[in-house]
Every structure is written in C-alpha cells, then in structure tokens.
Amino acid sequence: MLRAFSHTNGRCVFHHAKCWHHRKSVLAIRREDVNAWERRAPLAPKHVKELTKMGYKVLVQPSNRRAIHEREYVKAGAIIQEDISEASLIIGVKRPPEDKLIPKKNYAFFSHTIKAQEANMPLLDEILRQEIRLFDYEKMVDHKGMRVVAFGKWAGVAGMINILHGLGLRFLALGHHTPFMHIGMAHNYRNSSQAVQAVRDAGYEISLGLMPKSVGPLTFVFTGTGNVSKGAQEMFSALPCEFVEPHELKEVSRSGDLRKVYGTVLSRHHHLVRKRDGLYDPADYDKHPENYISRFHIDVAPYTTCLINGIYWEQNTPRLLSRQDTQKLLVPVKSAAAATDGCPELPHKLLAICDISADTGGSIEFMTECTTIDNPFCMYDADQHITHDSVEGSGILMCSIDNLPAQLPIEATEYFGDMLFPYIEEMLLSEGSEPLEKQNYSPVVRDAVIASNGMLTPKYQYIQKLRESREQAQSLKMGDEKRVLLLGSGYVSGPVVEYLTRDSNIDITVVSVMKEQLEQLTTMYRNITPVHMDVLKNEEELSSLVKKHNLVISLLPYSAHPFVAKKCIDNKVNLVTASYLTPAMKELQESVEAAGITVVSEMGLDPGLDHMLAMECIDKAKEVGATVISYTSFCGGLPAPEHSDNPLRYKFSWSPQGVLLNTVQPATYLKDGEIINIPPGGALLDSVTPMDFFPGLNLEGFPNRDSTKYAEPYGIQTARTLLRGTLRYKGYSRTMGGFVKLGLINPDPYPLLRSTTPPLTWKELMCKLVGIKSPAEHHVLKEAVFSKLEKDKNQLEAVEWLGLLGDEPVPAADSIVGALAKHMEMKLPFGTGERDMIVMRSEIGLRHPSGHLEDKFIDLVVYGDNKGYSAMAKTVGYPAAIAAKMVLDGEITSKGMVIPLTKNVYGPILERVRAEGILYSTHSIIKQ
C-alpha cells in the first residue's frame, strides 16, 4: 500500500479501497493552460503506472505543450481524453480557469489563495460556489511544518543556471568576456545533466585562469537552507568553488583565487540582530521578529557579487535589502591604477540578484514585479528607483522568474510526482460532495484542504477575514485615492510618473500610441494602467477616460491641447500642460471658468522655470522698491559639449518637429524702447547673436516668439528691453538656414509623402525641391543643391552628412518638415552613455530708489544622467509633476487659466525642483 496509509489499520484500508475499486475511482490529470511555458504535470508516467496497477482509472487531458509525450502516459495505462468529468479527483500543477471547474469534485493544485491573494479570489469564490474540495499542495506539511510536496529543488537548479547565463551577459555589457557566456538559460537544455556539463565546462575555463583579472574574485551568497537553496548550491558546485563562512567573504572578495569562485550560505544568525542589544536569539526572534533588523547590507552585501535569494518575507520581519541599502551599495568604486579602458573594473561589487523566492515586495523590497522566462532579466537602478528590460546601464541585474521549475519540466515532474504520489490514493478515495468530517485523511492531507462543501475549512476561515480587512482598507483608501490621466509617453513622461507614483494614493492611466514606451513605463512603476490609443482619433474614448480621473496631464504637442482642454471642460476635470498658453487655449478662458476647473499651462522649462526664476527676482526687487528697466532671458536644450559632434551641433531630447518649426516662426521683442518684428519664414536665423556668458560653450542665441507680451503678466511695463530667446551652439543657425533655403522646413501638406503613395527617396525629393529632373546624377544634384544654398559649403556638408542626397527612403509624413523631423530623430539621437544639458541665463536690469543700477544674473545649468533621465526630461517633467501634485492636494485652487507667475505657485515649485537636483545660482553687478 501507499505510504500515506501507513498510519491506519491495514484491514480497514483494504476494505475501503476495495469498495472504491468497485465504484471505479477515477483520477484525472488536467491540461496546464495558465502559461505558455507550463509544461509540467503533477505526476509522471511511472506514477500513473503504479496507480493503474492498483486498479485505478487514470485520465490525462491531451496537451501538445506537456513535456512528457502522451504516448508515455498511454504506455503506463492512462487514457487520453478531453472529458474528465467522471473523475473524482482532478489534479494539476497550476490553477485551472474558473470556467473549466467541474462542480463537487476534488481538486488538487497550487491555488495561491492562502494569503487571500487578490488575483485568485475569483477562483476561490467559484470553488466555494461549486462546492469543490480544494487540496493545496503548498499546505501539505509534516509535523514540523515543512512542506512535503514541492518543486523547490528544481526552482533552485533552474534559477542558478539562469543567473550564471545572466552574469555572462552582464559582464559582457561591462566590457568583459567570461566563461559564463557559454551557459544558456535552463530551458535550453534537454535535462539538468546537460546543464551541469555546460557549467562544468565554464568552470574548467575559470580553473585555467581565464576570468578577467580586473573583475576580481567572484562571490555568491545563498540565503535559506531549504530545498530551493540546496538546488541552487548543487548546480553551483559544478563550478570550481570553495564555500566559506559569511565573515570570510570580505577577505576572499579582495584577495581570493581567481581560478575559483566562492560561495557562502547565509542563515538568520549571520545577519539578524536585535535592535536593543545587537544579539540574535532564535526563540525570541520567532516570537518578536519586529524587534530585529538585518545587517546584510553592512556585513555581507558589500562583498557579494551575486545574491541567490531563497527566503520568503513575512509581515513584521526584517527585509534582506531595501532601496536605501542598495543605493549605498551601488556607489562607484575608486578605479585602480591598473584599470584601463579595455580592462575596466566593475562599477560596484554587487552585480546580480537571483530572487528565486519571486516574492514581490518581499525580502528584496524593490523586487516589485517578477521577470518571466521570455524576459528573464532587468536592471534595477536604485538611484532612480526604476527598472528597465536590459542587461546594460546602471544598477543590479535582477532575475525573479516565478515558475522556474517549468524550465526543466521532465525532471521537475518526476521529482514532484515522487513527493505527491504517497498521498494520491487517500485524496482519490473520496467524493468531493461528501462531508469533510467523514473523510479518513492523514494530517498532511486534511490540513491541506482549503475549501469543502461550499465553505472554507476552519483552518482557512482567516482568508475571508483577510479579504474583508483588505476591502475595508481599500474602501478607506478610495477616499484619498487620486486618479491622474497622463496623455503621452515620450521623453518627459518618466519624471512625471516617477514623481507622482511616490504617493501610493495616486493611480496613473497613461495613454499613448507608442506601445513600447507604454510597456516600459508599466514595468518601471507601480500604479500604472496603460492604454494604447491615439487620443486625437478616439474622441469618445478620450472623453470617457477624462471623466474617470481627477486630473489630466497633457504631454501631447501644443496643438492638441485645446482639443484635450475641451474634454476637461465638458467633464469638469483639471488640466496641466507644459506648453505655451496659446491663443487657441486663451479662447477657452470663459468656458474653463464656467466649468469651475483649473487649467495650468507653461509648467515646464521654457516656458515654466524661466517664468518662475524671473518672477522670484522681480518680486524681490519690487519689495525693495526697485524698478525693472530690462529683462533678457535665453534658454536652450543642447547635447553636452562632448556629444555635439555633428554639423548641426544638436541632438534631440525633445520634439524634433517643434524644434525645426521654431526656426521659421516670427518673433517680436523690445530693444532700447523700440519694438523689433522678425517675419516668419526663416528670417529669425539672420538675427543671431553670439552669447559669451559661458565662453567655453561657444553659444549663439536668437529671439523666440513674442517677448513683448510678457511685460504685463511680469509686471515690468517699465522695461525698455524685453527679449526671450533660444540658445544653440555656434553654427546651428547657419546650418538650419540651409534647410530653410531648400524648402525642407515646410509644414504645408505634401501628398507625395503620405503612406498611401509610393515611397520617395531623399534624392528624388531633393530633385523636386531644387527643380531638376529625377533621376539625376549625384554630382548634378549636389551642384544644384550647392547653388540653392548660395555656395555655402557648411550647409552643403550638413545636407550630405544627413544623407539627404542619397537613396534612403523618406519617412512617410503629412509634410516635408514632418518627414525631416522623423529622419533627424533617427540620425541625431542621443547614443548610449551620451547626455544632454540645459543652459538658461536671465539678466534683469534694476533701478533702485537711490538711483543706482543693478544687473541681476540667474544661471541654470543641468546635465542629463548617462543612464537616467535627460536634462530636458527633468526640467520639463518635474515642474509639471509638482504642479499636478499641487492641484491634486489643493495647493493650487485658482479657477481658470493659471501660469506660474504668482509666489504661491512658483515658490513651492522652485523649492521642490531644487530637491530634485535642479539647481540655479544668482549673482549681481552693482553700478553707481
């Protein structure tokens, strides 16, 4: 007989079994359908064979995905059929869909309901409704509370294989080829023996001294002492390894043998200490874990290359690693003298974490979302508190797959089946419709029954209480919950989302046509709901979305804002944008006021921070009775000087089309009391002035739009000079002037470039623009273009550099400037590791009551982060996000159109952007 029945009287069991044999007890193995990678089964053919020998009928649902072929089950005596309704016990690995449940049956699978997991409560409700008896493998434990049915070992084995593969990729991204490059993902091997051989082969190369010396000795830390950790250690042991005590890690991480790798197994007493006295007492810890803290980040992590985490986190217990801990661990190491560009040192010691526990928000606090077999790795950047799907960039390589044993499905099935098999018969010898108390179950099986006869069993009635508590908490939270609709997912959206999601009560719906960007945002941040949609083409859907939110933030092009504003007016929802308050928006002033809503505009960099810095200075000057006699402000988003290596001296971190169109806009400004008007069409580029306030940057500037309109809102009607302008590197305007001459900055519709027409090449388009017949010889076209450019060699060089005389197809667009913008976005992006910069200089001339003059200078210079946000994204995104938060929190209460010109608005924003690292300086020159 089976082991599970050894506790009962043999004669009774025989009689009981005989009775059920007469009734032809049937077991069914259901098809796994929850995940494409789920190829396991709860029992292997050898277990089925034993059951059929004992007289039980075994049904197996057909599945081409199952790793063990159906014919093996048939050989073992199983019947392959779709209909499993005659079975008294239906077993699987993962949960079945609710609509596939059969009433009043016994089911056994991993239900993931014992913590009242919200995602699986509908399943539990359906199980109760259909009076199903549910056995949960996770709760099959012995008298010591240790699980007796689990895949744990194979999670450890697969996780270790995966992270060795990931380390190979991460090392390569950091400039090092290592033997780990020859190890694949676990599912690439037919079985674990093949994987062991691959790991041994890599280990052989390590033993020969083929690891790069500049990476130093590698150390692996294993947490937990259960089967998960043991499985990982078993695979690790295929490398030339030496296990050391945790306190020895510091020494071996610095001076260990490069021909081996080092491992240590971490138990509680190695890193947990009581807060009041720094000691560890296991009995006290079990009673009061909240009185303890972990010293892992101090004593162990600084000397760890790779953490293999196999421990689950319980409420009130110390976490192994927090975000703050990790920020300190990722401080760059000082480069040794021996390090070179070709042989770099590692940026920091801790390179990778394989969280086999896959316990989101658990012992690894910042592991908030599992990775998948399809996308196994991500990088966690503790400084930005973001993750991105890559093995490159700053941070720690993370692997946290929650179905690891599915990568080695045959061995995992056999291993799991060996553990489950002894308990199958007693689960099988009962009907789900019979009262639970009449069943003669062993303690292992009885205590794993979550639900029976339409009710939670007494041991698991706490689940309902957990649900009620959570629902109550959610109900209370609903009162504080704020919903934000963010339109656009481009360059600026990252800082906006990052800032707002710091408040757990803010939920954000992001709408964008850019599916990939949406997915990135959803991966990086919590509380994000993505909607893939073109706002301008789905008016009704947009209106419906606006109605469900407290605030809309529009990062769309400025031309779309009136359309969005009208939806906000209709639904009485507040709006924030970073763009200019255009005439089209001003026309909505009365409607906005009538709706009783707040529409905040010009809440970015320029416009935005330029207003705020000006008004802070102007208001302070007025407080001492000074009069403003001049105001000049220039601002530009540029590549950092070392990355301005192209004829345009420019790269795009902002809307390319907007940048191009700005060069043909009209401009108006006041100089020494005279109004200067610059007509549209490119004359702006002839009004360029060298800017020498930062001589090393070699800048030039030109006027931007109508500066005179700010005299009244700034309250500086006394100013005789009023000029707001754009900064670029010297040579930009000359190059752009060439594009204007060629007719490339033309926003008019151009039907030949539509997606419905045959594609044109740039060569063909240029022939049309310069008026020669196509096709033309290259030298003929070049000479015609050169002539059109009035023999300007620099402008011709830029045209050639961009490939505008070649055979590359012109991107489909509504206009020529639209096509050029798309082309430039591809040709002039910021490359990996490149950064942008923001430069702003404002000069305010003051006359004091005493008669003396003062020139006040305000400087703002911000650099982008190599692997994080661009300077433009930060300086536009954070002000917009801060303003949005102020509206949500009731700090901005004015109704109607609002721009940041009053102290109650600009004061808090300037203070808060400083906290985000956006710093500015001021200085004065006093004239007698």
| Catalytic annotation, residues | 606
Q: Please, what is the end-to-end C-alpha distance for the chain in angstroms?
A: 107
Note the Cα 651 to chain centre separation in Å: 25
Under 8 Å between Cβ of 605 and 861:
no
Q: Burial level of 511, CB count in 10 A (0-12/13-18/19+)?
A: buried
Which DSSP category does 540 fall into? H
Distance from C-alpha of 428 to C-alpha of 418, rounded to nearest angstrom: 17
State the amino acid at position 126 in one-letter form: E
Decide if 297 contacts 246 (C-beta within 8 A): no
How many other β-carbons are positioned within 10 Å of the β-carbon of residue 689?
14
Distance CA 888, CA 508 (A): 13
Q: Is 834 left (phi over 0), alpha (psi -120 to 50) or beta?
A: beta
Distances (CA, A) of 494 to 387, 491, 500: 12, 7, 10
Which residues lie across from 355 on neighbouring strands? 309
CB 83 within 8 A of CB 425: no
SS (H, E, C) 644-695: CCCCCCCCCCCCHHHHHHHCCCCEEEEECCEEEEECCCCHHHHCCEEECCCH
Instruction: Tell me which residue of 884, 883, 879 sits closest to 550, measured CA to CA.
Output: 884
Residues in the chain: 928
- Strand 598-600 versus strand 574-577 pairing type: parallel
Nearest to 763 by CA among 707, 810, 831, 731: 810
**What angle separates helix 793-801 from helix 732-741, to the nearest 10 degrees?**
80
Q: What is the DSSP letter of 497?
A: H
Q: Could you tell me if 219 and 248 are in contact, meaning their C-beta atoms sit under 8 angstroms apart?
A: no
Which residue do the tokens 């409560």 mark? 121
CA proximity to 830, closest of 652, 701, 610, 692: 652
CB 621 within 8 A of CB 856: yes
Residue 717 main-chain phi, psi, to 5 deg: -65, -15
Q: Is 42 exposed, middle or buried (0-12, 13-18, 19+ CB in 10 A)?
A: buried
State the Cα–Cα distance between residues 67 and 80, nearest whole angstrom.
15
Residue 790 CA, distance from chain mean position: 50
CA-closest candidate to residue 442, choices 458, 430, 460: 430
68 token code pair: 């063990």
Specify whether the CB–CB gap between 161 and 183 falls below 8 A: yes
HEC sequence for 541-598: HHHHHHHCCCEEEECCCHHHHHHHHHHHHHHCCEEEECCCCCHHHHCCHHHHHHHCCE
Query: Distance (Å, rounded) from C-alpha 405 to C-alpha 278?
Result: 38
φ and ψ of 908, to 5 deg:
-60, -35
Q: Are 304 and 396 in contact (CB under 8 A)?
A: no
